[in-house]
Structure 1
Amino acid sequence: MNYVMQSRTNYFRVRDPKRFERWCRYFGLRFWKDQKIADCPDMFYAVGNDDGEGWPSTHPETDEEMDFETELMKHLDPRDIAVSIQTGAEGLRFLDGYAVALHADGRTVHMQLFDIYEKAQQVFGPQVTITEAVY
């Protein structure tokens, strides 16, 4: 079985819509536009990737490594936070997820789906057994 990833963001504003759309096309990303968000006349964008590989990690033409989150932050309007969610699965054998909130100034907040085990142990205490949802 192969591990397959899906990725997408929430809706957010960008600094330069034409440049952002070119960037999405360059990396083969899908994007959606919506102008009916937050009672605001601005255009909002969401981006996603459903090719099974998750977010791109290399430039298509040069194969040079790149950090998707850093590249996305360059496009963000500083009034908004982009939330990137990536999930993956190897059938029902292994499920995983990761989310990061990004701001244009470089600040981030990260969260792993597997953090639930540690958090649950802290809440329920060491006397309980918590197994992972894998086999």
Structure 2
Amino acid sequence: MYRIGELAKQTGVSPDTLRFYERIGLVHPIARSEGGYRLYGVEAIRRLNFIKQAQALGLTLEEIRAVLEVMEEGRPPCADVRRVLRQKVALLERRIAELTALRNALAERLRWAEAHPDPACDGQDHCVYLDSTPA
């Protein structure tokens, strides 16, 4: 069994994060010592590694909790994970499109600004480089 500090060292997750994960239902100590210390088994290491991997792929703690609940019910989580992954890919594709459009707009504005390095500008609450349609 591992006390919270030992589990933190084993997994690279801070004790505060472990306490937070316990509060939101992601990890559970299997017992308390006589001194009141949380005690975790080896399954906590597997679970924390699962959580870290899911986070690295962009899953939120709420999404991770939902997957863990499916697993705790004894069902394979693969269908649920595929659904979440599809949603994440679609979200990223939309965000990439938005960022690409923004980059293109900024690059066009920068090209214009560099072609007009000394525009007539009165400095009063605006900049010609940021006007909606440069002259």
TM-score range, shorter chain: under 0.3
Pair member with larger Rg: 2
Decide which structure has greater strand share.
Answer: 1
Decide which structure has greater helix share.
Answer: 2
Ranked by relative contact order (alpha carbons within 8 Å, sequence separation 6 or more), the top structure is 1
State the TM-score, normalizing by the size of structure 1. Answer: 0.21
